[in-house]
Structure 1
Amino acid sequence: MKRLTFFFVAALALVISSCQKPKVQYSGNPLFDDKPLTADPAVLVYKDTLYLFTGSDETVPGKEGFVMKKWYVFSTPDMVNWTNHGVKLTVEDFDWAAHNAFAGHCVENHGKFWWYVPMVVKDTTLIKNEGFAMGVAVADHPLGPYKDASGKPIICDTTANSIPLNIDPAVNVDDDGQVYMYWGSWNEARYVKLKDNMIETDGPVHTVEAKNFFEAPWIHKKGDTYYLSYAAHYPSTTEYSTSKSITGPWEYQGVINDTIHNSPTNHQAIVTFKGQDYMFYHNAASTTGGPFRRSVCVDKIEYDENGLMKKVVRTTTGVPAVE
């Protein structure tokens, strides 16, 4: 009888213990619904915290066209609990800029944080095509405060070998310290070296050959392989190519994110955080979402045994918490 009692008590304790295990928390997708609306994610990791930089769609429901005037910063220690730090940069922070706060990218170098952003210029003598130019703001911390680092654009319509729509900068500091800026849209991609000061080009603008490229370049490195991901076609999928050099040549590898319902744009950011690989992107699934009212999401990225990226499985649950 004592033995039966012992086993009963042990089994009961096991049941109670299993019931008391904490429930796994997930981020949910979209991350922030529509307060605020977010688009065009960029991410960086700093001191065990992931920082998310986004644009903001302000077009009212039912209207067409992008209305974008400002950029936000969010942070998380665990992929689930997010802090909205509010607007950290606006068009008005650049004396040379007129409007259109499109997709940017923030990178750490020299102990500072450099936020590269495209906007339409005020100076009509710099407008030969669509008028977009790319500048940079700098801060001592990912949360700012940010200020215009040079007082003028780095790339604009009048730059030799620029493109009709100079948007979507992606800046990387390579292993040897050399800085590269990629950008592109309307089926054309470019890269240029930047000087160590992070605000001037160093040499000519180069043309990038990447199959199906449309816009939104992003480069990350895993092992000794560089991955160039980008929006392809329009409406856009996300596709990618690989190389052993940050400047290519690029070998096409395939699709990693299919077209998105009600959002012809598809803009990704890929990062490793606390041992897991993630892809941030946007969709139009918020309560008031649409092609010009987008919201940032996140799901896992996985690689096969050959180091090739598998297609992202998009979810509404998002990703689980990490420690």
Structure 2
Amino acid sequence: MQHSGNPIIRHKFTADPTALVFNDRIYLYTGHDEAPPGTEAYVMHDWCCFSSDDLLHWEEHTDVLKATDFSWASGGAYATSIIQRNGRFYWYAAVNHKTISGSAIGVAVSSTPTGKFEDPLQAALITRDMLPPTDNEKINLDPSVIVDDDGMAYIFWGNKTCHYAALQDNLLGIAGTIKTLPLPGFEEGAHIHKRNGWYYLSYGYGMPEKVAYAMSRSIHGPWDFKGILNELAGNCATNRPCIIDFRECSYFFYHNGGLKDGGSHRRSVCVNELFYNENGTMQRVIMTSEGVMV
């Protein structure tokens, strides 16, 4: 048995994890912090992809997607979410829009989990003018997508306010009305997953961000707030959870400022095991420098 160690990626700064399991391998997608030491601002141009079959050894896959691969984007490679359906991989990403004020969400598609990913719409999926009037230019951050058991897909996202909507069958458009979810302390970093008939919506709670979560028997709610899932992550003001099952265990990915010169703008992805109680609630995650034992 070996420990993975945390952070799990040590040769560069990574943030905002999203992951999927495909062909018995974990594919981990992250943001890429490039702010020089002493610079306290988000400098994020592209995303990273790593894969592993044991949570110990991670292979890097380069040149998968950058913010300006969306021709309508001016930059800002923020948090993402990836899903697989019908042999294709759909990667939803938050960026800065070039001509519409504020952040926006696009989708890039590939026939393989390592890309290269391309923008089939050549336009944003979600822009600020699609929402009720707001002064919050960061409102369209941190998408999270789920394909439900009936084949319907839904996207959750937001900053300060959580929104959700159904997706069209082709996963490339919004179907119906964009709705708002009243969640206590919602800051950003939504993550949606489902297990044993329960829907779980985890998110950054307060600022600096802990991670809290709510549960529901329906994707449309009502949502029952369950409290804190993960405490403050050291010297990093933000957090963004990702929860997956792999080989009969559940794992909680997050980021902290754990590398040398790390911090809120030089973050690093970590992983610890996640445990459920008999009633379906999740136990508070214990963050460790040892990581997971496999």
Shorter-chain TM-score bucket reads: over 0.9
Equivalent position of 1:242 in the other structure: 215
Q: Which residue matches 1:233?
A: 206
- CA distance in 2 between partners of 1:110 and 1:283 (Å): 34
| Distance (whole Å) between structure 2 residues aligned to residue 219 and residue 208 of structure 1 | 13
Q: TM-score, normalised by structure 1?
A: 0.88
What SS is found at the alignment partner of 2:68? Answer: helix
- 1:210-244 Cα shifts (integer Å, max 9, x gaps): 22211111111110111110000000100000000
Is the Cα–Cα contact under 8 Å of residues 161 and 206 in structure 1 kept in the other structure? Answer: no
Kindly indicate whether residue 166 of structure 2 is the aligned counterpart of residue 193 of structure 1: yes
Kept in 1, the 8 Å contact 2:63–2:116? The answer is no
- Name stretches of at least 5 consecutive residues in structure 1 with no aligned partner: 1-23
Q: CA deviation at 1:161?
A: 3.2
Structure-1 residue corresponding to 2:78: 102
Residue number among 92, 95, 113 corresponding to 1:116 in the alignment: 92
**1:168 Cα shift?**
0.3
Q: Give the alignment of 1:57-96 within 5 angstroms.
A: 57-96=33-72
> In structure 2, how many angstroms separate the alpha carbons of the residues matched to 1:270 and 1:162?
32
The CA deviation at 1:160 is 3.2
Which amino acid in the other structure matches residue 80 of structure 1? L
1:288 Cα deviation from its structure 2 partner: 2.0
Secondary structure of 1:203 counterpart: strand
How many Å separate the matches in 1 of 2:279 and 2:131?
39
CA shift at 1:86, angstroms?
A: 2.3
Contact 1:278 / 1:299 at 8 angstroms: preserved in 2? yes
In 2, distance between residues paired with 1:110 and 1:181?
Answer: 18
Could you tell me which residue of structure 2 aligns to residue 152 of structure 1?
Answer: 123
- Give the superposition deviation at 1:28: 0.6
Equivalent position of 1:29 in the other structure: 6
What does residue 290 of structure 2 align with? 317
Question: How many angstroms apart in 2 are the aligned matches of 1:253 and 1:139?
Answer: 36
Q: Which residue of 1 aligns with 2:192?
A: 219
* Amino-acid identity (%): 40
The list of structure 1 runs, each at least 4 consecutive aligned residues, that deviate by more than 4 angstroms after superposition, is none
The answer for the alignment partner of 1:134 in structure 2 is: 105
Alignment of 1:165-184 (within 5 A): 165-184=139-158
Q: Which has the higher strand share?
A: 2
Residues 126-174 of structure 1 show CA distances to partners (whole Å, capped at 9, x for unaligned) of 22xxx11100000001101210121000111110337632110001111
Distance 2:19 2:80 in 1: 10
State the Cα distance separating 1:110 from its structure 2 match: 2.2
Which has the higher Rg, Structure 1 or Structure 2? 1
Aligned position for 1:13: none
User: What secondary structure is seen at the aligned counterpart in 2 of 1:202?
Assistant: strand
Separation in 2, partners of 1:183, 1:317: 31
Q: Distance in 1 between matches of 2:217 and 2:47?
A: 33
Amino acid at match of 2:267: R
| Letter paired with 1:215 | E
Judging changes above 3 Å, is the alpha-carbon distance between structure 1 residues 288 and 171 closer, same or farther for their aligned structure 2 residues?
Answer: same
What code does the residue aligned with 1:83 have? E
Which letter does structure 2 place at the counterpart of 1:200? G
- Is 1:255 aligned to residue 228 of structure 2? yes
Amino acid at match of 1:172: I
Deviations 1:12-52 (A, max 9, x none): xxxxxxxxxxxx1111100112x221000001000100110
Q: Report the AA paired with residue 29 of structure 2.
A: F
The count of corresponding residues between Structure 1 and Structure 2 is 291
Q: Distance in 1 between matches of 2:171 and 2:142?
A: 17
1:161 aligned partner: 132
Which residue in the other structure is 1:20 paired with? Answer: none
Match for 2:171: what amino acid?
Answer: M
TM-score, normalised on structure 2?
0.97
Aligned partner (choices 267, 270, 273) of residue 297 of structure 1 = 270
Distance in 1 of aligned mates of 2:57 and 2:131: 45
